[in-house]
Every structure is written in structure tokens, then in C-alpha cells.
Amino acid sequence: MNQNRDKKEYWASFVQRWSGVVLALFLPVHFWVLSLALQGGEVLDGFLHWTDVPLVKFAEAGLISLLAVHLLGGFRILIIEFFRWAEWQSNLIAVAIGGSFACGLLFLLRAF
């Protein structure tokens, strides 16, 4: 597979795999933060206040971009696996990249 590094499909597979790993490992942290609400609103607010800084907002935008690229890349895989191949499907990698950037930027625009 490493011989195909000059092909966009190789990098689509690479991004799909490692974005999935990052998102899966982030899930326990995400759930733990939300569960702080059980200890009272002020505990959750304390954490949310800590996240209200530019660096964390950029990190959150990065996670949103990863989620969007994994979502759109996942749609691409499902379409390739479950439908007959058609030329337009080769554009789905560009759609995934564009959609991912759009989601991240939209989040940043609204967060600041």
C-alpha cells in the first residue's frame, strides 16, 4: 500500500483511518466532560469556562473538521462498496476535504 503514496485514494484511506482513531480515543474524554453535569451545573460551567480560550476553540474546530472528513469519507466508502462504480465517485474525496474545511471554518466563525 505504501507504494501508492502518490495517489489521492491512498491519502483518503490514511485520513479516514487516523481521523477515526483520534475520534474514537476522544469519545471517552467527551463523555466524561458531559457527565460533569451530574456533579452540578457549576462544575460543568467551570470546565466550559476553561475551554473558552482561542487555543481550545481552534482545537475544537480541528475535531469538528476531523468528524466532518470522517463522515464524508465514510459516505464515500459506503457508496463505493454498495453501489456500482461511476466516474463521479472519484470527486468524493474533494467533497470530503471541502466539506471538512467548511465545517471547521463555520464553527470558528460562530465561536469567535
Partner 1 sequence: MTNRLEIKLWLAHRLTGMALGLFVIIHLITMIVVIQGGLSAAEIMERTSSNILVVIFYGLFVIAAAIHGSLGLRTVAQEVLSWRGSSLNFVILVFFALLCVLGMVAIKGLVL
Contact positions toward partner 1, by CB under 8 A?
A: 17, 20-21, 23-24, 27-28, 30-38, 41-42, 44-45, 48, 51-52, 64, 67-68, 71, 74-75, 77-78, 81, 103, 106-107, 110-111
CB of 87 to partner 1, least distance (A): 23
- Rounded to a whole number of angstroms, the minimum distance from the CB of residue 1 to partner 1 is 9
Q: Is 40 left (phi over 0), alpha (psi -120 to 50) or beta?
A: left
| CB-count exposure of residue 35 (10 Å: 0-12, 13-18, 19+) | exposed
Of 10 and 23, nearer to partner 1 (C-beta) is 23
Closest approach of partner 1 to the CB of residue 71, in Å: 5
Minimum Å distance from CB 20 to partner 1?
Answer: 5
For 49-78, letters b (16+ CB in 10 Å) and e give eeeeeeeeeeeebebbbbbbbbbbbeebee
